[in-house]
Amino acid sequence: CGVFGVLGVADAANFVALGLHALQHRGQEAGGIVTYDAERGFNSARRFGYVRDTFTSADVMQTLPGSLGIGHVRYSTSGSKGPAQIRDVQPFFGEFSMGGAAIAHNGNITNAQALRRELIERGSIFQSSSDTECIIHLMARSLQKGIPERMEDALRRVEGAFSIVAMTRTKLIGVRDPLGVRPLVLGRVGDGWVLSSETCALDIIGAELVREIDPGEMVVITEEHGVESLRPFRPVRPRFCIFEHVYFSRPDSIIGGRSVYETRRQIGVELAREAPVEADLVCPVPDSGTPAAIGFSQESGIPYAMGIVRNQYMGRTFIEPTEQIRNMGVRLKLNVNRALIRGKRVILVDDSVVRGTTSRKIKEMILDAGAAEVHFRIASPPTSWPCFYGVDTPQREKLLAASMSEEEMRSHLAVDSLRFISLDGLYRAVGEPQGRDAGTPQYCDACFSGEYPVEPSDMIEQGFTL
Ligand code: 5GP
Ligand code: SF4
Ligand code: MG
């Protein structure tokens, strides 16, 4: 998901809508905006679909007055079942004795089921099926006098990944979990302040990046006092999601001072060194494989070409919720550039192999078009484990790499060769020249290594074994 908030600008909702539009790649199922205005109090709108279709008409935007607002773009992760429901669309709102608060969450709470059970037993009435709602109920039960303090209380009980943007009548609040799994940045726009999942959403409103919110940090921002920084949690070594660098973030964002594009290009360079192959063309599987393909081509000297063309009017396949739609999606979204491919030995560069369904279809399309050879090069190590921290990987049984070796996957996909970047190669590409520190890894890489930095206790309760 993507989160965004702004304080101290006229018509905050317009900025929030623009910010969410720039974060749309983080969630395409639904979006929501909450604003506060002294005259009209809190207002909210939640809609299914793209921000550009839902938060552009005057009808909606006029209902969201005020100079303080937050928003959320959603895609549902493995926890959610059944059809999408508007009651699960964030931001969530709670009314407390000292006033209201709205909260938008990116990540996934790994002890949400246990918390929900406990809260329901003690009388909380849940409105949604979302893990995020636990935070509101925990806040309602806190004895603290202020909303930020109640939020600290609540978040100390929560495990897992959270980057949160929240607001009260006067405050914009940002928090990152102690490991800092999901990103969150602070920006300045005129006299106002911005919080955003990624820097690409600062650019769209002409805001300047001030800095990242630190792992384990809470910032409370007011027009009067600016940014106040708090440290509510016991400090631990951060474990940022390495897959944000590979796939999830936009290539024009800056993470940890590094260009995401440059990291992905470097992954391609590493791949070309680790797994060279003789061929005529390097083609990305668009768009997620593009920067790595550019790096692969530059390092190998094999020409880069658009062997596959993407229809710009389809979303990201991975975000479409059902397998059936996902299966359909490949042909609707990608087409082979036949004239270019015929008779050529082609290296296809993609970001990841998850179920293998996309990769198989693409290989068929390329062979149909008359390619002489097909070589897959993948910009992440084999995805052998599900993510429980906010990225929607399927159950372990559905992950190709969970049950197959690299050679078995190659023969399953029926390609001439298949190679994944090594975990160390990936670490080098994200700026760790020594590779992965096996004792205390610098990043979360659980979907590749199976080493979960936070025990996924709800999933273990459901029978998941490490
Ligand atoms: P596959 O070949 O595993 O079906 O799909 C791999 C391709 O689809 C990659 O380009 C990746 O970007 C995308 N993809 C499809 N499904 C998922 C998913 O559930 N999680 C992730 N991380 N990527 C996916
Ligand atoms: Fe990121 Fe993978 Fe860790 Fe999930 S398991 S937070 S996708 S590195
Ligand atoms: Mg892709």
Task: Give the CATH number, domain containing residue 13.
Answer: 3.60.20.10
Ligand 1 pocket member 358 (CB < 6 A): yes
Residue 13: per-residue pLDDT: 98
Q: Residue type for 424, please?
A: D
- Contact between 230 and 213 under an 8 Å Cβ cutoff? The reply is no
The response to whether 200 counts as a known ligand-binding position is: no
Is 375 part of a structural domain of the chain? yes
How far, in Å, from the CA of 288 to the mean position of ligand 3? 5
> Which of 203, 238, 273 corresponds to the end of one domain?
238
Ligand 1 pocket member 318 (CB < 6 A): yes
Q: Is the domain of 49 the same as that of 96? A: yes
How far, in Å, from the CA of 161 to the mean position of ligand 2? 10
Q: Is the domain of 287 the same as that of 351? A: yes
Residue 358 has a CB neighbour count (10 Å cut-off) of 21
Main-chain phi, psi angles of 47, to 5 degrees = -145, 150
> Which of 180, 204, 238 corresponds to the end of one domain?
238
- The single-letter DSSP state of residue 304 is B
Q: Is the domain of 223 the same as that of 332? A: no
Q: Is the domain of 291 the same as that of 185? A: no
Is 254 part of a structural domain of the chain? no
Tell me the CATH number at 294. Answer: 3.40.50.2020
Q: Is the domain of 227 the same as that of 294? A: no
Residue 331: per-residue pLDDT: 79
Query: In the beta sheet, which residues pair with residue 443?
Result: 240
SS3 label, residue 184: coil
How far, in Å, from the CA of 351 to the mean position of ligand 3? 6
Ligand 1 pocket member 354 (CB < 6 A): yes
Residue 78: per-residue pLDDT: 47
Ligand 1 pocket member 47 (CB < 6 A): no
Is 360 part of a structural domain of the chain? yes
Which ligand ends up closest to the CA of 353? 1
Is 466 part of a structural domain of the chain? no
> Which of 187, 203, 238 corresponds to the end of one domain?
238
Q: Is the domain of 100 the same as that of 188? A: yes
Q: Hey, what are 404's tokens?
A: 């197959």
Residue 80: per-residue pLDDT: 57
Q: Is the domain of 376 the same as that of 302? A: yes
Q: Is the domain of 97 the same as that of 145? A: yes
Q: Nearest C-alpha to atom 8 of ligand 2 is from which residue? A: 445
Residue-range definition of the domain harbouring residue 418: 259-461
Pocket around ligand 2 at a 6 A CB cut-off: 181, 241-243, 387, 389, 391, 444-447
Hey, which of 285, 319, 354, 399 would you mutate to test ligand 1's pocket, going by the most ligand atoms within 8 Å of its Cβ? 354
Q: Is 1 a catalytic residue?
A: yes
Q: Is the domain of 361 the same as that of 406? A: yes
The response to whether 444 counts as a known ligand-binding position is: yes
The response to whether 283 counts as a known ligand-binding position is: no
Is 247 part of a structural domain of the chain? no
Residue 211: per-residue pLDDT: 98
How far, in Å, from the CA of 317 to the mean position of ligand 1? 7
Phi-psi region of 121 (alpha: psi -120 to 50; beta: other; left: phi over 0): alpha
Q: Hey, what are 464's tokens?
A: 């998941």
The response to whether 447 counts as a known ligand-binding position is: yes
Q: Is the domain of 233 the same as that of 332? A: no
Q: Is the domain of 418 the same as that of 325? A: yes
Q: Is the domain of 143 the same as that of 278? A: no
Mapping DSSP onto H, E and C, the string for 368-437 reads HCCCCEEEEEECCCCCCCCCCCCCCCCCHHHCHHHHCCHHHHHHHHCCCEEEECCHHHHHHHCCCCCCCC
Q: Nearest C-alpha to atom 6 of ligand 2 is from which residue? A: 241
The response to whether 351 counts as a known ligand-binding position is: yes
Burial status of residue 303 (CB atoms within 10 A of its CB: 0-12, 13-18, 19 or more): exposed
How far, in Å, from the CA of 261 to the mean position of ligand 3? 15
| Per-residue confidence in pLDDT tens, the chain, 466 aa | 999 999 999 999 999 999 999 999 999 999 999 999 999 999 999 999 999 999 999 999 999 999 999 999 998 764 456 678 999 999 999 999 999 999 999 999 999 999 999 999 999 999 999 999 999 999 999 999 999 999 999 999 999 999 999 999 999 999 999 999 999 999 999 999 999 999 999 999 999 999 999 999 999 999 999 999 999 999 999 999 999 999 999 999 999 999 999 999 999 999 999 999 999 999 999 999 999 999 999 999 999 999 999 988 876 545 555 666 666 667 788 999 999 999 999 999 999 999 998 899 999 999 999 999 999 999 999 999 999 999 988 899 999 999 999 999 999 999 999 999 999 999 999 999 999 999 999 999 999 999 999 999 999 999 999 8
Main-chain phi, psi angles of 108, to 5 degrees = -155, 135
Is 190 part of a structural domain of the chain? yes
H helical segments located in 172-301: 200-204, 242-243, 260-274, 290-300
Is 248 part of a structural domain of the chain? no
Is 102 part of a structural domain of the chain? yes
Kind plus residue range of the DSSP H or E element containing 451 = none
Q: How far, CA to CA in Å, does 346 sit from each of 188, 265, 293, 349? A: 46, 19, 12, 10
Q: What is the count of structural domains for the chain?
A: 2
